[in-house]
Structure 1
Amino acid sequence: MYAAHFGLRELPFGITPDTSFFFGSPRSQEALNTLLVAARTGEGFIKITGEVGTGKTLLCRKFMAILGEDFVTAYIPNPYLEPRTLMLALADELEIALEREVDQHQLLKAINLRLLDLAAQDKRVVLCLDEAQAIPVESLEALRLLTNLETEKRKLLQIVLFGQPELNAKLELESIRQLAQRITFHYHLGPMSRDDLDFYVAHRLRVAGFTGARLFTRSAIRGLYKASGGVPRLVNIMAHKALMLSYGQGKQQVGGGHVLTAARDTVGVRRDILSWLAGGAAVAATAAGLAWVVAR
């Protein structure tokens, strides 16, 4: 689309969690360091929370990618599963061969034997559950029981919960208080600061192959921050649209007007500041440009 126009090898602002674009802002780097320290000290439960779009899934994938050969990772992206199905998903991730009609006892025994086998190979096993706020309470309790599996020196399974703040409310339930007490490391992933966002945009452009001077003007960066509140997903969506607009007009730089129109066209932005961003008559012309680019 606009990649060649701006000298890019690939589109820089996709919303899929590509670890090559991971940006170590102070917050995301601190969260990653927390995960690495917790995993290497062998803690049973670790929790990472953050609002929608703050980069939890990307952080999860980056964490798993750099753990190293001493770790075996299991990843369940949608844990809205009843306990038995969740255990089957874990068994599948650990490449455990099961009989077609395996009962609960044999299932747990097979998982335990696999974990013991990996421990004998001096491997640590980390289970990462994305969207953990959706896990049923009964399944959370089943996970707690799994962390009871241990040798004399360490836990056989570590569990990392990545979820929206609603996960905290769920963990306050009396029925799973024992699980909440076992969470020894936790971190809340907040939005980016204004300066972080500026570096974030430049970082993603550089990874995508951009070698020129500033592509997004300071007013464009200011608009991205005001409209997104520093939430990476919203930044990506609006930056992508703003690049489309600039390309559609044959421009070589993204300005504040492009960002304003992108913000108007994006669900979830801070509507209260759109009037602050408005640039008068240029907005209508930019809007027409977006419609033209999308239609191409």
Structure 2
Amino acid sequence: MYREFFGLKEKPFNVTSDPNFFFLSRVHKEAFSHLIYGIKERKGFLEITGEIGAGKTTLCRALLNQLDINTKSAFIFNSTLLKRHLLQAILEDFGIPIETKTNVAMMRQFNKFLLEELAKNNNVVLIIDEAQNLRPSVLEELRLLSNLETEKEKLFQMILVGQPELRDKINSPSLKQLKQRISVRFHIAPLEKDEAGEYIYHRLKIAGSNGEIHFAEDALDAIFKYSGGIPRLINKVCDKALLFAYVMGTKSINLSLVERSIREIEGAVVLA
């Protein structure tokens, strides 16, 4: 609705995980480096955690865009899978035609695929999102999958991505063996205060802003205070603030507009 008024080619504050808008904050840059290291060095299990809306999925999508043609990848979003469906989902996402839907047959197929990719000097990466929802039996199945290796290296790298509950689950005594296999563990913290404004203007620039849109300093302070540095919450406030600014015919977002946006997000009745 407001794109034409602000001269934008697309909405800058959608809450979808668009890697084109990926912002390399200090912590996201560090997380990205950890993932690249874990993949290139064939470290096997990697774990990335962060609060809801911290940018975990966007980070993973940006990562996939950076992998070279010698890295085959699959991205599993359905973390409520039952144990018997896990291998099937993995094979399907890697584009492997399933011959027989039994665990033994599918495991044999997957192992064959991995060995073929290794022979081509290719790497294989499996990302499982919302991994905090995985049942303990499924996590144990993933641990068993990690046994697919040569004497020298892992045949594929697995990235478990989830909310902090994932870290707590893996730290439980029943999953001790899985925890021991995780080589890289990283938690994505919220943006720092000085990064929140940079994040907002970064997204505006990607969306096509010519610099006319301006957020007042106290407005930025209010956005950070409300969001706690969580990107998704920043997006929600900024999207609503731009809508109110459009209605008022201004390209300057002041504290009043931001406070009004926050009240509406929180369900308060906002009077015109």
TM-score range, shorter chain: over 0.9
Structure 2: how far apart are the matches of 1:72 and 1:116? Answer: 13
Gaps of 5+ in 1: 269-282, 290-296
The residue that corresponds to 1:7 in the other structure is 7
Q: CA deviation at 1:152?
A: 2.8
Structure 1: how far apart are the matches of 2:262 and 2:115? Answer: 52
Q: CA deviation at 1:267?
A: 4.5
Per-residue displacement from partner, 1:103-159 (whole Å, max 9, x unpaired)? 221111011111111111111111001001001100101111111111232111111
The residue that corresponds to 1:71 in the other structure is 71
1:129–1:161 CA contact under 8 A, matched in 2: yes
Further displaced range: 149-158 or 225-234: 149-158
State the one-letter code of the partner of 1:29: K
Structure 2: how far apart are the matches of 1:202 and 1:212? Answer: 9
Structure 2: how far apart are the matches of 1:173 and 1:267? Answer: 36
2:131–2:160 CA contact under 8 A, matched in 1: yes
Q: CA deviation at 1:261?
A: 1.2
Structure 2: how far apart are the matches of 1:3 and 1:143? Answer: 45
1:79–1:86 CA contact under 8 A, matched in 2: no
Structure 1: how far apart are the matches of 2:68 and 2:271? Answer: 50
Paired residue secondary structure (1:72): strand
1:199 aligns with 2:198: yes
Structure 2: how far apart are the matches of 1:96 and 1:70? Answer: 17
State the one-letter code of the partner of 1:142: E
Q: 5 Å matches for 1:34-53?
A: 34-53=34-53
1:45–1:184 CA contact under 8 A, matched in 2: yes
Paired residue secondary structure (1:154): coil
1:95 aligns with 2:78: no
Aligned length: 272
Structure 2: how far apart are the matches of 1:28 and 1:212? Answer: 25
Structure 1: how far apart are the matches of 2:68 and 2:83? Answer: 29
Q: CA deviation at 1:49?
A: 0.5
2:86–2:138 CA contact under 8 A, matched in 1: yes
Structure 2: how far apart are the matches of 1:264 and 1:142? Answer: 46
Higher relative contact order, chain-length normalized (CA < 8 Å, sep 6+): 2
The residue that corresponds to 1:241 in the other structure is 240
Further displaced range: 198-207 or 59-68: 59-68
State the one-letter code of the partner of 1:288: L
Q: 5 Å matches for 1:129-140?
A: 129-140=128-139
State the one-letter code of the partner of 1:154: E
Paired residue secondary structure (2:215): coil
Further displaced range: 197-206 or 78-87: 78-87
The residue that corresponds to 1:148 in the other structure is 147
Structure 1: how far apart are the matches of 2:198 and 2:71? Answer: 32
State the one-letter code of the partner of 2:246: Y
Gaps of 5+ in 2: none
| Structure with max Cα Rg | 1
Per-residue displacement from partner, 1:57-106 (whole Å, max 9, x unpaired)? 1011111110212211110012211122111000101211113x522211
1:86 aligns with 2:86: yes
Structure 2: how far apart are the matches of 1:162 and 1:13? Answer: 23
The residue that corresponds to 1:26 in the other structure is 26
Identity of aligned residues (%): 39
Q: How much is the aligned-residue C-alpha RMSD, in angstroms?
A: 1.6
Q: CA deviation at 1:3?
A: 0.9
State the one-letter code of the partner of 1:266: I
2:46–2:185 CA contact under 8 A, matched in 1: yes
The residue that corresponds to 2:252 in the other structure is 253
Structure 2: how far apart are the matches of 1:167 and 1:247? Answer: 41
State the one-letter code of the partner of 2:15: I
Per-residue displacement from partner, 1:30-80 (whole Å, max 9, x unpaired)? 110111011111001101110111000101111111021221111001221
TM-score calculated relative to the size of structure 2: 0.96
Structure 1: how far apart are the matches of 2:68 and 2:256? Answer: 45
The residue that corresponds to 1:160 in the other structure is 159
